[in-house]
Chains A and B, each alone.
Chain A
Amino acid sequence: MRAPHRDPRLVLLVGAGGAAGTLLRWAVSEVVPAADGFPLATLAVNVVGSFVLGLLLERLSRRGPETPAALRWRLGVGTGFCGGLTTWSSFAVEVDRLTSTGSVGTAAGYVLVSLAAGLLAVVAGIALAARRAR
């Protein structure tokens, strides 16, 4: 079997998931305004995407060795959709913009909340997958 990233069908599957995630991320950014310069939209998609990815990867890994169907779920929904929904580039640029416009406190708060909530979301997703598996 060739490596998944060299299989055109799987690359297309990741692309389709990524397109859907990107569209949803853009829609969220259109309806969620920044609160006092705090980038709420990016925070929201990053935390939700981290939760879904943590849940998905844990559920799939608890099923034992990866089947072709599980691989498609992991790549389409995980690598594609969750990867496209969440973004690190916007996060990094927002931190830079906040810092350079003098909102250093907001930038520091944004970094702390994003990383803490992102990690907690993954842990919560894993815990939910573990509960459902029992």
Chain B
Amino acid sequence: MILLLTLAGGLGAAARFVLDGAVRTRWPSRFPWGILLVNVLGSLVLGFLTGLVLNGADPQWRLVLGVGFCGGFTTFSTAMTDTVRLARDGSVRLGLLNLLGTLGATVTAAAFGLGLAVLL
């Protein structure tokens, strides 16, 4: 199970790299839209998996897909360094928007995922 979790984490990180790169290439911007998208998607899925386990599903699914894949996919460190980089480049407003926007959007997405799993 630990091996699967580790592999899923590697897959998640690779998926983040590819998706973020694709977003950057297609829509170049100073604002880190790619990482925001990654963090919202990963929070939605982890919320959903957590809801399924609260409803009695096998917790091992959450361990591999949630702790492994979603954990490797989403990132806290990049969101923090992006916020500091924006503030340093003179865009304190964009930095704050990234920080609070990510917080609001991901907590909402996770709650939506949790609620959806409970409804099913």
Q: What residues make up the interface of A, taking CB atoms closer than 8 Å to B?
A: 3-6, 10-12, 14-23, 25-26, 29, 46, 49-50, 52-54, 57, 75, 79-80, 82-93, 95-97, 100, 111, 114-115, 118-119, 121-123, 126
Contact = CB atoms under 8 A, between A and B. Distances in A.
Contacts of B67: 22, 25-26, 29, 90
B65 to A, nearest CB: 11
A123 B84 contact: yes
A17 B10 CA distance: 7
A89 B80 contact: no
Interface residues on B, range: 35 or more
Given A18-B14, A26-B67, A126-B84, A89 B106 contact: yes
If over half of A's interface residues share one DSSP class (helix, strand or loop), that class is named, otherwise mixed; here it is: helix
A20 B80 CA distance: 21
Given A5-B20, A90-B46, A115-B99, A14 B71 contact: no
B107 A11 contact: no
B47 A96 contact: yes
B52 interface: no
Given A83-B72, A97-B50, A115-B99, A18 B9 contact: yes
Interface of B: 2, 5-14, 16-18, 20-22, 25, 39, 42-43, 45-47, 50, 66-68, 70-81, 83-84, 99, 102-103, 106-107, 109-111, 114
Contact of A89 (B20, B25, B73, B99): B73
A110 to B, nearest CB: 11
